[in-house]
Structure 1
Amino acid sequence: MFSHIMIGTNDLEKSKQFYDNVLGALGVKPGFLDRHRVFWRSSTGTFSVSKPIDGEPSTCANGATIGFNMDSPEQADRFYAAALANGAVAVEDPPGWRGGPNGLYLCYFRDPDGHKICGLHRPPKP
């Protein structure tokens, strides 16, 4: 359904460094700069940060969450650890299973611009 996700930033270089490290934990190559935006591409989509083109400050969306698929709980833990090591703030419960035996493995953090990010592992259905 989605081709890409783009979020705003007030510090393009800081966001690039943050997401190079965090998405690097998922095997994504470093982002590339295109004018006032940075793009990270993978076989499943594109993630981007951008300075707002209207010249106003970037703000995070209250109630919004951007979720990244994880191949395993271990990958979610690496993603989360990389985020915290690079300036993210932990939010919600610690990484772990939610929703019982057929649930989801989730981790949540806020990036340096305040955007809420989730790592989600959905195990195969039995």
Structure 2
Amino acid sequence: MLVVDDNPELTALVGAYLGRLDDVSVLTETDPQAALAQLDETVDCVVCDYEMPEMDGVDVLEAVRERYPDLPFILFTVANEYAVAERARERGAEFVRKGPAADGFEQLTETVERKLGD
């Protein structure tokens, strides 16, 4: 699994949280371009923030789709815009809102487990 978020603390937190899942190895990256460079067939899922400086999460999603059209992709963001969620879903990605406390992490974990079980 590859976790991409420009906030290093949040990236580490998401990585640690998802690393507790059985049989999941987590790579983390704060730079979307560097994350795309790490993308290979060993990555079984991408969890990505939306609001980042050089590329937004949908840009990352589109770059992933060019190489791995069926790779599970989850946009995990505070952005509460219907248009962002719709753009992600149109490209086959899930949209999970970062919520207060652990609620968003629980929803993210459930989504990851479901996508990896598919």
TM-score normalized with structure 2 length: 0.35
Which structure carries more strand by proportion?
Answer: 1
Relative to its length, the structure with more helix (as a share) is 2
TM-score, with normalisation over the residues of structure 1? 0.34
| Structure with larger RCO (C-alpha < 8 A, sep 6+) | 1
